[in-house]
Amino acid sequence: MPNEFWEWSKQYDADFIPSSLPIVIERGQGAELIDTAGHRTLDLGDIIANVGHCHPRHVAALQNAAAQMIVGKGSWTNPERARLMKRLVELTPANLDKVFFATSGSEIVEWAIRIARRFTGKHEILSFWGGVYGRTMGAISMNGLQRRRKFGPLLPGAIHAPYAYCYRCPFDKKIETCNFYCVDFLDRILDSESTGDLACVIVEPYQGVGGLIFPPAGYLTRLQQWATERGVIFILDEIQSSFGRTGKLFALEWENLTPNLLCIGKGMGNGISIAALVAEARLTASLTPGEMSGGNGGNPFACASALSVLDILQDENLIEHAREIGEYWLTRAHAWQTRFEIVGDVRGRGACIAIEFVKDRATKEPLRGFANTLGARCYPKGCAVHGMDHILALRPPLVITRDQAARAADTIEATIKELTE
Ligand SMILES: Cc1ncc(COP(=O)(O)O)c(C=O)c1O
């Protein structure tokens, strides 16, 4: 039932995309969402509430932090900020020893680029088709999606290359035999597009907004090697993949990567805005203290939130749990691939699984809008599924239980059947 919140949103919200169902979410509890009509759904389209909605320990930590001090005093530090920095340096690869906090992932990406430019004295940035690194001008210049149309001119020096989207390989190669041709091809791109002034390469461990595209094992290692051999700063954008999402605290652990700059955010604060750059000291030393300041970054409230998220992830073994849920869903989804002709590709890791629907398996023509239709059908049945055109993304809070995951899979399976028969 439409209500006043729905109507006001339509009237006043500058960025409102009315869905086919007038849903107004009022509350969250664990892996569930409750709308203003009191309808409960499993939240399967999350990328932020890694420890779940209103986790009692997280809420208590926020209440304590709020009662103590909320605002960060920029020129001084505070205990939570210091604690969080120390913990992040301990949890990330040994080459990373400095931390900077901001309030959004986009800002952190901007800082990563600026540091790479300052350190190298070079200006070009290599990024990937389908990549999304944020919404600020620098970030959209590097993004590889059309959402930057008519916002130009963009940042000079942004160079784009194909990502390892193996299901739709731009080179028509096969993973088994390609030997990471797309990494070698980067040199060809630079030959034609670079002025010989490449500062850095930025990459996501999996492309999130771009459609949950997971590169094959070994790709990121090869890319890091490629960058190192050329003296190019390797920036890993883990803003979406960090804090347990892929079944490791940081996705870089899957291949023991050692990026020069690591961008993290989103799940880090579980809804409280905080993002961080974890960096090599030799790189941050190219800036003078004070150059990286920001109004709200590193405030004690947000840092307390992130510390609590780390505690909960570790104490409740949510990261291992994310892996188990992912493996279960992958098994279910692979069975759908055998059963339903329209299931073209199934991929993912941890609590981050994608199902790509196609009109025809041979041509791989996308089945446009199918995942959105599926989402609209699943909601009344208690599953809030995130449809990305022809790609269904399953990304629940990591506290989702095995029973809830089974219920979600049953619902999706029954709905695909309903829509295809
Ligand atoms: C990989 C990645 N990097 C950066 C960002 C930007 O983060 P924020 O929305 O916090 O500015 C996003 C946002 O979706 C993202 O997915």
Looking at the fold, whether 155 and 208 belong to one and the same domain comes out as yes
Q: What share of the chain is helix, strand, coil (3-state, %, to 5)?
A: 40, 20, 40
Looking at the fold, whether 211 and 262 belong to one and the same domain comes out as yes
DSSP conformation class of 260: S
Looking at the fold, whether 246 and 196 belong to one and the same domain comes out as yes
CATH of the domain at 396: 3.90.1150.10
147/328 Cα distance (integer angstroms): 34
Check if 209 has its Cβ closer than 6 Å to any atom of ligand 1.
yes
Q: How far apart are the CA of 392 and the centre of ligand 1, in A?
A: 19
CATH of the domain at 204: 3.40.640.10
* Ligand 1 atom closest to residue 266's alpha carbon, by position in its atom list: 10
Q: What pLDDT was estimated at residue 169?
A: 97
96/277 Cα distance (integer angstroms): 10
Domain that holds residue 11: 4-51+317-420
Check if 105 has its Cβ closer than 6 Å to any atom of ligand 1.
yes
Looking at the fold, whether 62 and 25 belong to one and the same domain comes out as no
Looking at the fold, whether 191 and 45 belong to one and the same domain comes out as no
- Answer with the one of 280, 300, 315 that is the final residue of a domain: 315
Check if 106 has its Cβ closer than 6 Å to any atom of ligand 1.
yes
Three-state SS for 330?
A: helix
- Residues of the chain with pLDDT below 70 are 1-2
Looking at the fold, whether 309 and 274 belong to one and the same domain comes out as yes
Looking at the fold, whether 262 and 394 belong to one and the same domain comes out as no
- Answer with the one of 268, 294, 315 that is the final residue of a domain: 315
Q: How far apart are the CA of 276 and the centre of ligand 1, in A?
A: 12
* Ligand 1 atom closest to residue 131's alpha carbon, by position in its atom list: 1
Q: What pLDDT was estimated at residue 2?
A: 60
Q: What pLDDT was estimated at residue 70?
A: 96
Check if 109 has its Cβ closer than 6 Å to any atom of ligand 1.
yes
Looking at the fold, whether 335 and 234 belong to one and the same domain comes out as no
Check if 240 has its Cβ closer than 6 Å to any atom of ligand 1.
yes
pTM of the model: 0.97
Check if 237 has its Cβ closer than 6 Å to any atom of ligand 1.
yes
Q: What pLDDT was estimated at residue 102?
A: 97
- Answer with the one of 315, 349, 380 that is the final residue of a domain: 315
- Specify whether the CB–CB gap between 387 and 23 falls below 8 A: no
Looking at the fold, whether 27 and 149 belong to one and the same domain comes out as no
Q: What pLDDT was estimated at residue 1?
A: 56
* Ligand 1 atom closest to residue 273's alpha carbon, by position in its atom list: 10
**Cis ω before 380 (30° cut-off from 0):** no
237/131 Cα distance (integer angstroms): 10
Looking at the fold, whether 353 and 366 belong to one and the same domain comes out as yes
Q: What is the DSSP string of 207-245?
A: BTTTT-BPPPTTHHHHHHHHHHHTT-EEEEEETTTTTTT
Check if 207 has its Cβ closer than 6 Å to any atom of ligand 1.
no
Q: How far apart are the CA of 89 and the centre of ligand 1, in A?
A: 21
> How many structural domains does the chain have?
2
Looking at the fold, whether 285 and 197 belong to one and the same domain comes out as yes
Which of 239, 242, 261, 262 is the pocket-test mutation for ligand 1 (most atoms within 8 Å of CB)?
239
Looking at the fold, whether 310 and 324 belong to one and the same domain comes out as no
Q: What pLDDT was estimated at residue 147?
A: 78
pLDDT tens for 85-114 read: 999 999 999 999 999 999 999 999 999 999
pLDDT tens for 160-194 read: 999 999 999 999 999 999 999 999 999 999 999 99
Radius of gyration of the chain (CA): 21
Q: How far apart are the CA of 139 and the centre of ligand 1, in A?
A: 9
